[in-house]
Structure 1
């Protein structure tokens, strides 16, 4: 059975680092090949070129213009690439913020995703405090974060921590200072039964 695993969360939570740490053990535990699909790796260069042409600033990657015109095509291409791999028998570990899709529960909608019941689906929400995320974003000095940092009060309004019904089958992971045991526990949740896995970890406050 193929697997589709999403690693989601706001900027600065360490999604990509976590995914790279997990993919080797995940392939071993699932006894299946995986591809790693990171939205910024797949589409960062293209979107930077497009924004450079539209606004003169290739790093204008969080502006209203980007969110209105380029966000959806990026995500649709990301999901299409994951689905193509699944159809070839390769499981997919997909990395991206996907905050709107988590809030709207789209990542649990198999019709919207275009996958069947034969695909095992897991969604991980990676979180840290706003202060920690801000510190990490500043420290990594990625030009793509320039708009966020310059408009932090605006950006922070989009940050949220899933709670209540949003947490149904959502695997919450506090990535502030995880230990090897924390990574092992998350791996077990990803390869285990979804409801039992979700019940093992309650959402933590930001």
Structure 2
């Protein structure tokens, strides 16, 4: 697993490495949160590994937070343990998962640099009404207003995302690839990307 992680970090383009480092330079030093957002397969985990190496930050990954809980609940509710895009997931499961990730992450960030790695599609939708995502996350968690929070949207085209999903062969991507046109229409080009460009501090092509 470590060898695979090293290969992923090595594969990160130099331009993206520099952009990530510039995004947090002088902002996240002794404390604070780096929030990496983007669609599945946009490169968040690879970016998080690189930033963790550079900054010494702790990484909190949504996919590793409570996978059994998410899969069990969604299997019972929709029959698809990997459903992360339905209205049922967004309204029933996502709020609790994100509250846990954001709350824990920003508590840790008060004492130590922390990276939050998750799509953040629901919080981006919530923050879209004239509020920057970092401000929304601090308010949602009750974190202090002076806690540094830098939000980064990793921008990838639907074609690149599909290619990465096919290449990695993850079971969680199977439903998306099975009905790709619907996933592309409803999620990838459904307006979240445009919102992210307005509420995130930094947009980096991946």
**1:100 paired residue number:** 122
CA-CA distance at 1:163 after TM superposition: 6.9
Query: Structure 2 length as normaliser, TM-score?
Result: 0.71
Tell me if 1:15 matches 2:44: yes
The unaligned stretches of length 5 or more in structure 2 are 1-29
Q: Cα deviation per residue 1:46-89 (whole Å; 9 max; x = unaligned)? A: 211222333443233333332231111111110111133134x1
1:161 counterpart SS class: helix
Equivalent residues of 1:12, 1:133 under 8 A apart: yes
> After alignment, is 65-74 or 152-161 more displaced?
152-161
Q: Deviations over 1:21-46 (max 9, x none)?
A: 1111023xxxxxx2211101112222
Aligned length: 167
- Equivalences for residues 152-171 of structure 1 within 5 A: 152-156=180-184, 157-159=186-188, 160-162=192-194, 166=198, 170-171=201-202
Give the Cα separation in 2 of the matches to 1:61 and 1:40.
11
- Residue 188 of structure 1 is matched in structure 2 by none
Q: Which of 77, 81, 87 does residue 104 from structure 2 map onto?
A: 81
Give the direction of change, closer, same or farther, for the CA distance of 1:118–1:45 in structure 2 (3 Å limit): same
SS at match of 2:84: coil
Deviations 1:82-109 (A, max 9, x none): 133134x122200111123234234333
The unaligned stretches of length 5 or more in structure 1 are: 28-33, 176-206
Q: TM-score, normalised by structure 1?
A: 0.71
> RMSD in angstroms over aligned alpha carbons?
2.3
**Structure 1 residue 155, shift from structure 2 partner:** 2.4
CA drift at 1:132? 0.6
Give the distance between the partners of 1:102 and 1:46, measured in 2 at CA: 23
Runs of 4+ in 1 over 6 A off after TM superposition: none
Q: Distance in 2 between matches of 1:6 and 1:102?
A: 12
